[in-house]
Chains A and B, each alone.
Chain A
């Protein structure tokens, strides 16, 4: 038997983020009926709406169901009371990311524009310190060569170490998340092995199959697909670049297949992000409520891609401020990669884990 202890502050936080008149939900269940992703057994988001209205934080934080939602917005379109369940789930996801953020203050740091200067200052200071330690904290002479500014050995080691640090911290939070999922949705009768579940989920993620059922937000499918594969390609290109820098085939020439692949990937990112931004600006009704975390992610991806392109252009065109751009690009990389566990991009972890868990307990 569940002992009820409402967290009114939590409820207020959801209301603030989602802008949803949570209490007006009459629990008609239309949202769950129209959702193409909700499982038949205890479907979302009907029950999540009740839990949110009762401020039941414990029930929502480690709840895999909120991650099974891909925020297509059909529930909000068909909600007779205008309560916008999809925005409520988005708010709960945002709070979840903060809730499992390790160290905790990092979650807070990236949750509000008030802390943005600090969030920017951190990579600026750390990168500067690394450069000072490497003894290259100045504009190098001669043709543009970024390794003169930031020696590869320094770049690869420090950035890899920082990434490992942050992701190691994230691992602690995610382990707690996994435990909570087990508590809230205990393993049902039908079970699948973890390995099989992971394979299935990867198939779904790469196939983007969960997006296709959506009616209210068709353009999102394409946008997310482009962005997602843009990222995957860039990840491959980056990994190749690291290897190339070690084997001294770096920098890559403009006609190198990997360089071409990288540029195609950035085009995909531009297109995907532009659609996403346009939707949030011009199709507000369907796109759902846009908050700081949404914009932070979109803008940082846009800036990362744009600065990457400029850095590349500066190298070939020998621009004078190439190194300034490069520094800026590194800050963008930091925002996206190091901060990943604390921004909306953390959904890569949470959603994947939740989908794997849901599959392993037979909820998908």
Chain B
């Protein structure tokens, strides 16, 4: 072996009781290890001292640590000079297989060989650095979110460019009469916080405010975005990261004529009503006002979602009415009153007003009756059908996100941010809030999800932290997220590229742009290092230094396939590192029994599996291939958005491969597993083994 590899085997945590370490060492030596050391507890102080002292002054290519899962003791064996690879003998072998059994020993030996092959096939990554790096932050929109983001970024020491298309900062928050209570005792309308923020803005030197300005184009990648501004200010700035705080628009009420809007003069939206109060036109507010909650929301015809703030806004507006007209009567017709968090206290305070009447119900008609308006409500708490005569009707309208196309991104995949549901940018909001599918561009505030002012401010801080993380990671040449700190990045061997555009189309993050011919132009700083492009490339052009087509082929080859007559099948499982692999670890921790006939290869994303790995494995004699990825679909759990979907899509291609190899379609199976579904793993594997048994051994075995 030309690349020297050192091997450490830990015999602690039952590994030594389950596996014959001396035979394992023999395997290591047979594969040309520079040295192989055993330790009873490698993670102990004594063990790590031993580990690092053994590596001192040794000229090595890399180290293989055969011990527990790489998710355990993460970072403990990292080395600043050497590639390190963890072989998971504990969770994947000794804890899940019969101790001392020959099959268990075979599994351990295979995994050690696979680990050695992985190191041998990898090189130390060289960080990617662009020609220019900016640490400045662009904030789009100077509403409450944008202002807060700008102030927070400035406080953290970053230069900010704050772009606002209106003629002054403040946004919708500055047009409010008052703010829904946001602090103890939560029972009084608060003064809008925005004005203090605007004042504060004037005191900051490192925030450049561009009013009456829009974005003409955004080009480039994190650390080096080139932003062209248009309007009162024309010019180009360079920024490292972008916070989009473009806010929301109220739902278009012209679609609400069934509730009287546009038909009856006394029917207005909550936004219009807020203006009446903010401009102190109380005389225009009559004695009986009825609020229709969810006028557009939670309704498939209009906005299917809840906008989070309309209930609080109505309670606030009802309070204003009552404060200025003690004889006024207010009615609120709701689907459910939703006052998140401690806004509940405000709700209770308003409930205490004897002249504010609320009921659940569905408004079935808003009709003129002389000078008044008859509002018909069915299924109310009062009676099946009621009519409430009032003088004014206010429609509580929800939020619609501003179109992100206005960012004018010069990306091959489009000018806006990709959307998930209801036109909000897709960021997998549970796992990765603020992140959009454009690395370095973060969504905050009502453009990300409907929310109130305090949430906008929290969002702004969160998004700014993300932006800073991005700037600093890119400066070091690291992946930003979710593989934070990863120094590898995709390199393209362009001589073989056929301009098929699959990588440029399939990259979930729009990393690749294209020239006129369709040749991919990579932007490594946009890349999240999922390797989906590796899976997409039919010409095997794309590789990472430590994750490549050839490396994986060597890993697959490292498994010893028993011949047909031994009747010991072999299944190769490509397992997603993000959810499925931790589930396997949990199965190990729970000491579930897993068949020793399966060999697990962790992959960056199930979408990174290249067809050639599968055909290689099948031609080597593996009886079946399992691909275990994260849950796809509307509530996807894939860390890289659509890796699992792509795997499903590519399934057709794979079946063609099977046909040309004259193999049965069952030889490849794709399974989606949630991170908490560890208990399903033994069943998944055993079921598949049964399926494989039915179709018999792979005829390529032993060829």
Which residues of A pack against B, CB within 8 Å? Answer: 1-6, 8, 11-12, 15, 21-27, 47, 50-51, 53-56
Contact = CB atoms under 8 A, between A and B. Distances in A.
Contacts of A53: 357-358
A24 B383 contact: no
Given A4-B388, A11-B354, A24-B348, 10 more contacts: A1-B376, A1-B387, A2-B383, A3-B387, A4-B387, A24-B351, A26-B337, A27-B359, A50-B382, A51-B382
Contact of A1 (B351, B357, B360, B386): B386
B561 interface: no
Given A4-B387, A4-B389, A56 B382 contact: yes
6 contacts: A1-B386, A2-B386, A4-B382, A47-B382, A50-B381, A54-B382
Nearest to B374: A3
A11 B356 CA distance: 11
Nearest to A9: B354
B370 to A, nearest CB: 14
Given A3-B387, A4-B388, A21 B351 contact: yes
Interface in B316-369: 329, 337, 348, 350-360
B385 interface: yes
Among B329, B359, B382, B389, the most chain A Cβ lie within 10 Å of the Cβ of B382
Pairs of residues from A and B, 6 with the lowest C-beta to C-beta distance, nearest first: A23-B351, A50-B381, A1-B385, A4-B388, A24-B351, A2-B386
Given A24-B351, A54-B359, A55-B357, A6 B329 contact: yes
Interface string B614-642: 00000000000000000000000000000
Nearest to B350: A23
Contacts of A11: 354
Contacts of B355: 6, 8
Nearest to B378: A1
A23 B352 contact: yes
Nearest to A51: B382
Contacts of B360: 27
Contacts of A4: 382, 386-389
B382 A23 contact: no
B385 A2 contact: yes
Nearest to A56: B382
Among B355, B376, B389, the most chain A Cβ lie within 10 Å of the Cβ of B355
B325 to A, nearest CB: 13
A364 B360 CA distance: 28
Nearest to A22: B354
Given A8-B354, A8-B355, A2 B387 contact: yes
Given A3-B389, A4-B382, A47-B381, A54 B357 contact: yes
Given A1-B386, A1-B387, A4-B387, A27 B381 contact: yes
A10 to B, nearest CB: 10
Contacts of A27: 359-360, 381
Nearest to B380: A50
A21 B357 CA distance: 13
A47 B383 CA distance: 8
A56 B386 CA distance: 12
B354 A12 contact: yes
Contacts of B388: 4
A22 B354 CA distance: 8
A37 B357 CA distance: 28
A8 B353 CA distance: 10
Nearest to B388: A4
Given A8-B329, A47-B381, A50-B359, A23 B386 contact: no
A133 B598 CA distance: 115
A331 B382 CA distance: 45
A333 B145 CA distance: 75
Contacts of A54: 357, 359, 382
A56 B383 CA distance: 11
A3 B380 CA distance: 13
B372 to A, nearest CB: 11
B678 to A, nearest CB: 38
Contacts of A5: 389
B351 A2 contact: no
A23 B383 CA distance: 17
Given A4-B388, A6-B329, A54-B359, A15 B382 contact: no
